[in-house]
Amino acid sequence: MGCIICGKKGVNVGAAVKCFKQDCQIYFHVECAKRANYCMEVDKKTSRNSREKIFKIYCESHRPFKIILEINELNQKEIEDIQKFAKTIEKCYDAYNKHQLKPKKMISKTERNKLLRQALQTRK
């Protein structure tokens, strides 16, 4: 069987695995599935003799609802984090613009001496 994602089939391109759903006939390469964000679960079965791991990989149509909810929650949290970050940047930008200091005007020595003399005369 060929990979539903890349369309390649044959021994030269690697083994294709079947969707874990019993009646589904969709095959794909594990690496292609990883790049396409397909879902993979690992069940740990413990028996007397061994700790066996069962890898379940699903096509896009059959991924479990629990995992879809987890993905949506992660996406929502990511969106909220980005929005908070954008608001923080906006506040910083507003504060910067509000309190931005204007550069002082440079004056020559003659002008400075003139201003000092005027200040001294007004004191007297």
CB 28 within 8 A of CB 8: no
> Which helix (DSSP H) or strand (DSSP E) does residue 58 occupy?
strand 51-58
Mean pLDDT in residue range 39-65: 73
3-state SS assignment for residue 26: coil
Tell me what pLDDT residue 104 has: 65
pTM to 2 decimal places: 0.45
N-to-C CA span, the chain? 103
Domain boundaries, the chain: 1-62, 64-101
Structure-token pair, residue 54: 């069962």
Residue 39 has pLDDT above 80, yes or no: no
Tell me what pLDDT residue 85 has: 92
